[in-house]
Chain A
Amino acid sequence: MTAGLLLDLLLALAVLGTAAWTLAARSQFAAVIGFVVTGLLLTLVWVRLGAVDVALTEAAIGAGATGVILLYVVARLRGGEAEISAATPSRAQRALAALLALSVGGALAYGVLSLPDPAPSLAEAALAGTAPLGLGNPVSAVLMAHRGLDTLLEAIVLVFAVLAVWSMAADHRWGGRPGPVFQREEHGPLSLLARILPPVGIVIGIYIAWVGADSPGGKFQGGTILAAMWVLPWIAGLVRPPSVTDWRLRLMIAIGPLTFLAVGLAGFVVAEGFLAYPPGFAKPLILLIEAAMTLSVAAALACLIAGPPERRRRA
């Protein structure tokens, strides 16, 4: 057990160290790298905590996709030194901030360490509620059935976010394709990668989404990989994203929550009620929703990465 304890201690110190380094980093670029490293270390922490599903999500979305959009903005953002130094808080303000952070962290530590032992848990109930659905992964069962409303609302939140990002565009850019223009380099390493990786990546993405029903994985993790496989050829300049007014793109983004909503409402007729699954048909219905959601997650994440339309409307 001591080896495990030592590993936990090392991981904890490494996470805190890289997080502190992220704040202290001299350039914004370095800060983003620090953040991504922290995220990857956190992935290990999640494995240590026995949460492999979360570890996959953290790697794909927490460190991966978030890191990509941070880098993307850093590359285009050059703040004025004078403005930043004028806005930098004074020593006293920073001391106050440190005091605030320490007291919140301290209070939290006090609260966490006095949590009851043995801890209350829904593990048993969740496990008992997984088998009737025909699923093997209790986390997926919680996401799709017991707390299905959370997942439905979250899928809708992604649509909100895409729409909000698009609506930040300049008026005359409306109808254009999302994101800036990337130059195409016919023989560059990036376009080579963008040609050979997607076939493999798409298979992996679908695989990870598919196995989610019974083992770690699922629509968010798989969808993120699919999104990456779509963004890569955009950045390499090989393909152009569809216009924001293209209804096919919009349908792709909305099909997941729409399917979820439709199956949920159908529960009024064919099952006991909203978001209830008819006995025996739970797994196929859940797989149907997961398939539609994977597509939507991929499209939504890709659009969130690309950003608002920045080029002209098609003639």
Chain B
Amino acid sequence: MSLLVGAFSTACVLAGVFFFVAGTAGLIRFPDTLSRVHALTKADNLGLGLIVLGLLPLAPGLGAALKLLLIWVLVVIGGATAAQLIGAAAARDEHAMPSPPSGGRGLGEGGVP
């Protein structure tokens, strides 16, 4: 049983790491902002999700497991918002002539702990 759980955890974490690597490669290799963000958020959310999934059976109790899930949910929310904001900013820059950003736009990550 514990062997099975160990194998499941290892597999999930390895898969998660693979998605992280893939996402990072996309961030570096893709040509424009939108596809970069796309690669990053998709891969990171999935990657972190798999890592959390792999760690769940190893959690010492229900509380710890819930905390792990909460971390994943928060990162997904934060990542989605950041991606939206970056995407909107990129779209603005493409349509309008490049203009100095106004006020405090682009500070979306500010709220994520």
Mark A residues whose CB is within 8 Å of B.
Answer: 60, 64, 68, 71-72, 75, 78, 180-183, 188-190, 192-194, 196-197, 200-201, 204-205, 224-225, 228-229, 231-232, 235, 305
Instruction: Given the known inter-chain contacts A190-B81, A193-B81, A197-B77, please indicate yes or no for A231 contacting B103, CB distance below 8 A.
Output: no
- Within 8 Å of chain A (Cβ to Cβ): is B85? yes
Nearest Cβ distance between residue A243 and chain B, in whole angstroms? 19
Consensus secondary structure, chain B interface: helix
Residue pair B108, A189 in contact (C-beta under 8 Å) = yes
A residues in contact with B78, CB < 8 Å: 193, 197
- Within 8 Å of chain A (Cβ to Cβ): is B104? yes
Residue pair A229, B100 in contact (C-beta under 8 Å) = no
Number of residues of chain B lying within 8 A (CB) of chain A: 22
- Within 8 Å of chain A (Cβ to Cβ): is B1? no
For window 15-45 of chain B, which residues contact chain A by CB distance below 8 Å? none
A residues in contact with B107, CB < 8 Å: 68, 71-72, 75, 235
In the complex, the number of residue pairs spanning A and B with C-beta atoms less than 8 Å apart equals 71
Residue pair B81, A180 in contact (C-beta under 8 Å) = no
26 contacts between A and B (CB under 8 A): A60-B113, A68-B107, A68-B109, A68-B110, A72-B104, A72-B110, A75-B103, A180-B104, A182-B104, A189-B85, A189-B108, A192-B81, A193-B108, A194-B111, A197-B112, A200-B70, A201-B113, A204-B70, A224-B113, A228-B112, A228-B113, A231-B111, A232-B111, A235-B107, A235-B110, A305-B110
Instruction: Given the known inter-chain contacts A189-B84, A190-B85, please indicate yes or no for A75 contacting B111, CB distance below 8 A.
Output: no
In the complex, which of the residues B100, B103, B105, B111 contacts A193, with contact meaning CB atoms closer than 8 Å? B111
Residue pair A228, B84 in contact (C-beta under 8 Å) = no
The 5 closest A-B pairs by CB, nearest first: A232-B111, A189-B84, A193-B81, A225-B113, A68-B110
Most-contacted residue by chain A among B85, B88, B105, B111 (CB, 10 A)? B111
